[in-house]
Amino acid sequence: MSLSVALIGATGYTGLEVARLLTHHPHAELAIATARAEAGKPIASVHPSLAGRLDLELEELDPVRIGKRCDVAMCCLPHAASAETVRRLVDVGVRVIDFSADFRLSSLRVYESWYGVKHPWPERVGKTVYGLPEFFAEEIAGADVVANPGCYPTSAILPLAPLIREGLIRGDDIIIDSKSGVSGAGRSAKVGTLYCETNESIAAYAVGCHRHQPEIEDLVGRIAGREIEALFTPHLTPMSRGILSTIYVRPSEGLAAESASGSTADGSTDPAVDRVMQSWRDCYAGSPFVTPVDHLPATAHVAGTNYVQMSVRRAGERLVLLSAIDNLSKGASGAAVQNMNVMFGYDQQSGLG
Amino acid sequence: MSLSVALIGATGYTGLEVARLLTHHPHAELAIATARAEAGKPIASVHPSLAGRLDLELEELDPVRIGKRCDVAMCCLPHAASAETVRRLVDVGVRVIDFSADFRLSSLRVYESWYGVKHPWPERVGKTVYGLPEFFAEEIAGADVVANPGCYPTSAILPLAPLIREGLIRGDDIIIDSKSGVSGAGRSAKVGTLYCETNESIAAYAVGCHRHQPEIEDLVGRIAGREIEALFTPHLTPMSRGILSTIYVRPSEGLAAESASGSTADGSTDPAVDRVMQSWRDCYAGSPFVTPVDHLPATAHVAGTNYVQMSVRRAGERLVLLSAIDNLSKGASGAAVQNMNVMFGYDQQSGLG
Amino acid sequence: MSLSVALIGATGYTGLEVARLLTHHPHAELAIATARAEAGKPIASVHPSLAGRLDLELEELDPVRIGKRCDVAMCCLPHAASAETVRRLVDVGVRVIDFSADFRLSSLRVYESWYGVKHPWPERVGKTVYGLPEFFAEEIAGADVVANPGCYPTSAILPLAPLIREGLIRGDDIIIDSKSGVSGAGRSAKVGTLYCETNESIAAYAVGCHRHQPEIEDLVGRIAGREIEALFTPHLTPMSRGILSTIYVRPSEGLAAESASGSTADGSTDPAVDRVMQSWRDCYAGSPFVTPVDHLPATAHVAGTNYVQMSVRRAGERLVLLSAIDNLSKGASGAAVQNMNVMFGYDQQSGLG
Amino acid sequence: MSLSVALIGATGYTGLEVARLLTHHPHAELAIATARAEAGKPIASVHPSLAGRLDLELEELDPVRIGKRCDVAMCCLPHAASAETVRRLVDVGVRVIDFSADFRLSSLRVYESWYGVKHPWPERVGKTVYGLPEFFAEEIAGADVVANPGCYPTSAILPLAPLIREGLIRGDDIIIDSKSGVSGAGRSAKVGTLYCETNESIAAYAVGCHRHQPEIEDLVGRIAGREIEALFTPHLTPMSRGILSTIYVRPSEGLAAESASGSTADGSTDPAVDRVMQSWRDCYAGSPFVTPVDHLPATAHVAGTNYVQMSVRRAGERLVLLSAIDNLSKGASGAAVQNMNVMFGYDQQSGLG
């Protein structure tokens, strides 16, 4: 029997991506999709790509009804509003994958200072698993609530965490220069994301003050058991989907020493580069979606998939780590399906390309 | 001494293009730019590309002040609102180039039925020159108000009008399939023109019911002295600027007969095609921006310029006319500058690339 | 047990799309992929998006080896070269889906005149099923060779054929104005399809002389049992994938009479439009991918899928048919997988989004 | 009387941009355009956007003829080939603006090791002015040969040089993360820059080993009188034109101390940020194209112009400098026209938007 899934907040791009992925899923089915302003309309009227593929009427959010019909809910609401809804869903026995930032951070204080709101369910902050199955699969399997990771954090944590944990790189000199497609800005009508504003243009935004910076620092710290400090600069890039993160780090003294003594007689490889690749291969041996590659990854290589391509280059005294993901898939809805798979005992790759 | 220009409604894409063009103009200068919601801010805060290039504060619309300081106003307001403003500007002695559709059509009845509003200055409908200097330069030179043409109409009238006037093609079997860049939809925040909605996608809209259809029929009729009927289908195309019109017509009996007897001994040319090219060359000999070409025009060939490239191919019993313009330049703001040049006795090409 | 598939000519965009689709297919697996110039390299070196997803070495074409290992071959070679290879594969007992135009047309004479080559296997011309399962599923099921349809033809035949067959529209006044993404031009290095040549630009090409015109006429004629003549104009559109066809037709006398007497008391519907929608619904009731829709289809609505969205509008005396497909999926590789599913008795939708 | 200009190597994007800019120039005219493979054809056959705007026949390179007819040559040939041609042109008395890297670097050894060729005119290496009029206007005015700057270097040198010269930032911890439009890769047919390879995708290339890295280090060093070391990573971005450079630097001890004592009582400004802005304003007071701005610059803000927008943000202990240019204009052909203006005593802005 199929899992029955509720999608809360179905009108945005992450909602569409969830719906799209579930039309392919062998073990799950979208049973309820909510959207306050559009309740009563067919979902295809909001997402015309679903015409003929998904016959479902949008409805108002009704936790009791969801509790009766669904095993799991994917909650795509804005922060704070999300935590409230998550609480009501948990109360009626539905397991929840929360797309918001409400339960991602360890610290209530950090959350409230970066998000500027009072948290509606503070008891659960710091006590909710972060939905990165590459590190937290066991806890996800048993969780009632999973905090689905942010898109930029996914692209940064995956390359950084094992290297910090193994002490291969320094934690105090990390620069993350990320480039995201426009879908990351959501589907609400704003002049700044009109076609003619973003087409043929790239620009940085929120330099040094984006909310994903504390999330990256928090999670790498939790995974690696060592605090880090990162400078994070996101850029709006003229493409619909994808994140490329170019990450500038310094080898630790240990790795530097190791590299200095490494054999590069034939000049073809760099011991520090090899060591990073090895660390990634070891760490992600059981993770089907994380793919260390020799070539320089492009966002198009992972577009529409749940894969992460990661690579590394030496540049003078620094190492440059590069990672590419699809921000709507591994950066949001694909990760949610992957989490759902883990929560309900399916293969992580079920229904994911 | 320089012309002093007022720009009414400066925050949209046509407003920006006017401002940009005037920074290059050897004989005109932007003196006043109005924008209700942004009054008091520097124009560069709304259009960051003008930073360091145009130091002007946006202000509220004040016709009296404009009357004192400006020779000419470019009015980029929505229809109906525009006509009201044009009237007030004319009252204080300012000559006006109106970007709206308010004074383009010959018939008040047709205007009110297609635009669904009562016309605020009905006496001037049918008595205002249409700002296509290729046909109406003399009247434009003396006009107090010029109705700046619609973007699609410019791309259709220029190739069609001379052929209809000379009786080379039939007036009752015309299909205009136009493809426009997204800037044609304006700069207001709407989901439909968000980057992710229009990128990587082409779609028709307003099939057979777009307001530019009566404008095309009216103007070709006026210029050619013969009524025509046209089917017009616009498409939203994933690019910022440009219109390509692919126009399917049938040769008149006269041209068909002429062609049948024409010499194509060497197979290299088609007499009907030659006749169309000749008609265009004759008609536009004195028009610096209209360029009949042998190659198939692409919108990129005219992007950022006031030029029109037009070409023709034979396909079975039909002729296919193709025209490319930049919708914001020759389709709007470039045409307005061209009209201004004619109104004030400058070379048509002054300040235009 | 899985089907074993050979992919002949794996380096292009259709080859990549076949490989990608097969990584998801529940009943088929890519066993062999050939590429003359790249033999010996991993397929991911040519298609980096397959890194970590498909571990296969490209090899030289060896029909005997394919005969031993594979049930079916997808042949993505240029025309003429393809027919030669198809013949060799059939000789060793492999069933073939041929992406080229070599076996699509009924007439050898038409083929040789439009393609300018001598056909390498003329006996099979006119005796090979056309791979449109919506009309030829039974023959496809038993075929040794299936001629996979052209991309533009798919977008035109599906909306036209049922209407011609039912006598709803005239066969002698059809204009097909198609807009294709750039991937339709293939992956070989040419200046004309460089990013900077096609970005921000739309242009027509091969007006009235594209090779898909006779294919459309031939197939609609075969399906409907009535000859038609169509004017076909393709356009290169600044997007990677997708075809939108805007098709201008005239109702037949029968439909016109029927419509005139139809009830449109409430003004909300047009009887001719209803009749077209009904014809499509009847014709495609058993076809899971063909979706008549009320909205105007956009290529983004079907991107990455095997679906076809079709719509119709009345415009004066004409009807405007609109269809959207993904040129690489339903227009090529998706159709091939759909054909493979039919040939081997699987559900048409197996492995297709 | 107009300057007479020769354009050597007219078929690429920089050649087109030179030709386009000169059609607007009040004091210069394109007299000769050379292109080996296309000699004898009209320039518009290679650049259809010039149809009707520039009537010139491409010809073979003939230095003697250029010497007789032209005052100045713009040389858009590949490195090494360029130096040879520059020498021949200088021999016949033509002043040359060289777009290649042949005369940009101070050191022959560095040139030969990074470019992998023997320099054809080694005597001039280190003795040719670098064409950045913001720093070298006087030498440019008298030069027979000007080395037109690289595109990435322009975007990095302008924000960095004054800060290094004033000792505001450290020279040993500089990371330049640059994002370029695809036109930077030139107009030759290569798979890697096909539309479908670069559209919807961003990727790094030449990480830590791009030839513009030594150029940036060399020039900042020359201007500032202090050696620096920079890590440079270029990225191919899905847009035709533009470069955004995001530059991570550390304040010098001096600036750090100064900042610490600076007044930020109201929290609204950062003394280090103010100091950087002041340094730029002072340095570029007489430079019409360099525009320090408060907003975060986007490449679209400078597209099609010769302007440079630069901004700065504080992020933890680092400063983030951002600069946006049009790679074909200020990054190549616009800079060349600016250099020509300086060489012949015109206003720097003549003919530049």
Give yes or no for residue D266 having a pLDDT over 90: no
Tell me the β-bridge partners of A98.
A75, A147
Q: Which of residues 161-190 of B touch C (CB under 8 A)?
A: 175, 177, 179, 181
For residue D293, being part of any structural domain is answered with yes
A50-102 pLDDT tens trace: 999 999 999 999 999 999 999 999 999 999 999 999 999 999 999 999 999 99
- Chain B: closest CA distance from residue C300 (Å): 5
C240 vs B: CB within 8 A: yes
C-alpha distance from D248 to closest chain A C-alpha (Å): 8
- Do both A157 and A68 map to the same domain? no
Name the pLDDT band for D267 (thresholds 50, 70, 90).
low
| Spatial CB neighbours of B342, under 8 Å, sequence gap ≥ 6 | B133, B137, B140, B141, B348
Cβ(C249)–Cβ(C321) below 8 Å: yes
Q: Which positions in chain A touch B186 (Cβ < 8 Å)? A: none
Tell me the mean pLDDT per 10 residues along chain C, length 353.
94 98 96 97 98 97 98 97 98 98 98 97 98 98 98 98 98 98 97 98 97 98 98 98 98 89 62 97 98 98 98 97 98 98 97 86
B24 within a domain of the structure (yes/no): yes
Pick from B49, B291, B353: CB nearest D300 = B49
pLDDT of residue C263: 54
How many Cα atoms sit within 13 Å of A87 on the Cβ side? Answer: 15
* pLDDT score of A121 more than 80: yes
Are C52 and A307 an interchain contact pair (Cβ–Cβ within 8 Å)? yes
Question: Do both A211 and A287 map to the same domain?
Answer: yes
Whether the CB of B196 is below 8 Å from some CB of chain D: the reply is no
Interface partners of chain A (CB pairs < 8 Å, 3 or more) are: B, C, D
For the cut 90, the answer to whether the pLDDT of residue B172 exceeds it is yes
Q: Is residue A144 part of a domain?
A: no
Is the domain of A182 the same as that of A309? Answer: yes
What pLDDT is stored for residue C267 in this prediction? Answer: 54
The whole-number pLDDT of residue D263 equals 54
Average the pLDDT over each of B97-106, B235-244, C251-260 and give the range with the smallest value.
Answer: C251-260
- Picking from D202, D245, D326 by the largest number of A CB atoms within 10 A of its own CB, the best residue to mutate is D202
Q: Please classify residue B125 by burial: count the beta carbons closer than 10 Å to its beta carbon, then call 0-12 exposed, 13-18 middle and 19+ buried.
A: buried
Q: For the domain that residue C256 is a member of, what is the CATH number? A: 3.30.360.10
Residues B123 and B184 grouped into a single domain: no
Q: CA–CA distance from B241 to each of B185, B187, B300, B326, C234 (Å)?
A: 11, 13, 9, 6, 20
Q: How many CB atoms lie within 10 A of CB C150?
A: 26
| Residues B87, B235 share a domain | no
CA distance C198 to chain D (A): 7
C195: exposed, middle or buried (Cβ count in 10 Å: 0-12, 13-18, 19+):
buried
Q: Does a structural domain hold residue D342?
A: no
Please give the sequence-ordered ranges of beta strands (E in DSSP) within C173-272, or none if there are none.
Answer: 174-180, 203-204, 230-236, 243-249
Looking at the structure, tell me whether residues A159 and A96 fall in a common domain.
no
Give a yes or no: residue D235 inside a domain: yes
C123, C163: one domain? no
Assess whether D120 and D157 both reside in one domain: no
Instruction: Say if A147 falls within a structural domain.
Output: no
pLDDT, position D260:
74
Token pair belonging to C299: 């290529």
Residue C352 domain flag: no
Q: Give residue C265's domain range.
A: 152-327
Distance (Å, whole) CA A229 – CA A210: 14
* pLDDT at residue number D259: 79
CB-based contact D242 A200, cutoff 8 Å:
yes
**Can you tell me the distance from the alpha carbon of B201 to that of C243, in angstroms, rounded to the nearest whole number?**
9
Query: How many domains does the structure of chain C reveal?
Result: 2
pLDDT category at A267 given cuts 50, 70, 90 is low
Minimal CA separation from A160 to chain C, in Å: 20
Q: Among B48, B51, B300, whose Cβ lies nearest the Cβ of D49?
A: B300
Active-site residue identified among B70, B75, B151, B283: B151
The count of CB pairs under 8 A between chains B and D is 55
D57 strand-pairing partners: D42
Mean of the pLDDT values across residues A14-29? 97
The answer, for B118 touching chain D at a CB cutoff of 8 Å, is: no
Mean pLDDT of chain D: 96
pLDDT of residue A305 exceeding 90, the answer is yes
Long-range contacts of B103-107 (CB under 8 A, 24+ apart): B103/B128, B103/B145, B103/B147, B104/B128, B104/B130, B104/B147, B104/B149, B104/B150, B104/B153, B104/B215, B104/B218, B104/B219, B105/B214, B105/B215, B105/B218, B106/B218, B106/B222, B107/B218
Residues B209 and A338: their CA atoms lie apart, in Å, by: 47
**Global ipTM:** 0.97
Are A215 and A105 in contact by the 8 Å Cβ rule? The answer is yes
Q: Is B235 on the interface with C (CB under 8 A)?
A: yes
- Whether C151 is catalytic: yes
For position D268, what pLDDT does the model report?
59
**Interchain proximity D304–B304, CB inside 8 Å:** yes
Mean model confidence pLDDT for chain A: 96
Q: Is the pLDDT of residue D199 over 90?
A: yes
Say which of C181, C188, C195 has its CB closest to residue D193. C195
Distance of residue A150 Cα from the nearest chain C Cα, in angstroms = 23
> Measured between beta carbons, which residues in chain C are less than 8 angstroms from residue D17?
none
A150-207 pLDDT tens trace:
999 999 999 999 999 999 999 999 999 999 999 999 999 999 999 999 999 999 999 9
Distance from CA of B319 to the nearest CA of D (A): 22
Predicted pLDDT of residue A269 = 78
From the list A24, A51, A304, the residue facing C309 with the nearest CB is A51
Is B300's Cβ below 8 Å from some Cβ in D? yes
Query: Are C198 and D195 a contacting pair at CB < 8 A?
Result: yes
Q: Which of A255-264, B202-211, D274-283 has the lowest mean pLDDT?
A: A255-264
CATH of the domain at D12: 3.40.50.720
Distance between CA atoms of residues C108 and C114, nearest Å: 10
D230 lies in the same domain as D187: yes
Which of B94, B127, B160 is a domain's end point?
Answer: B127
Q: Which residue of A has its CA nearest to B47?
A: A197
A352 occurs within a structural domain: no
* Structure confidence at residue C335 (pLDDT): 98
DSSP, residue by residue, B118-185: --S-GGGTTSSEES-HHHHHHHHHT-SEEEPPPHHHHHHHHHHHHHHHTT-B-SS-EEEEEEE-GGGG
What was the pLDDT predicted at B26? 95
The pLDDT of residue D258:
84
Instruction: Test C309 with A52 for CB contact under 8 angstroms.
Output: yes
Q: What is the mean pLDDT of residues A218-228?
A: 98
Residue with tokens 């820059």: D193
Together in a domain, A180 and A55: no
Q: What is the mean pLDDT of residues D135-156?
A: 98
Q: Pick the catalytic residue from A151, A196, A209, A283.
A: A151
* Whether residue C308 sits in one domain with residue C227: yes
Instruction: Say if A233 is an interface residue toward chain D (CB within 8 Å).
Output: yes
Q: Do D24 and B353 touch (CB under 8 A)?
A: yes
Q: Above 90 in pLDDT, residue D76?
A: yes
Does one domain contain both B227 and B275? Answer: yes
Residues of chain C with Cβ-Cβ distance to B176 below 8 Å are: none
Whether B266 shows a pLDDT value over 80: the answer reads: no
CA distance D153 to D331: 8
Nearest to C51 among A23, A293, A300 (CB): A293
Span D78-88, average pLDDT: 97
Give the domain-ending residue among C127, C161, C188.
C127
Q: Name the residue in chain A with its Cα closest to that of B236.
A: A195
Q: According to the model, what pLDDT value does residue D75 have?
A: 98
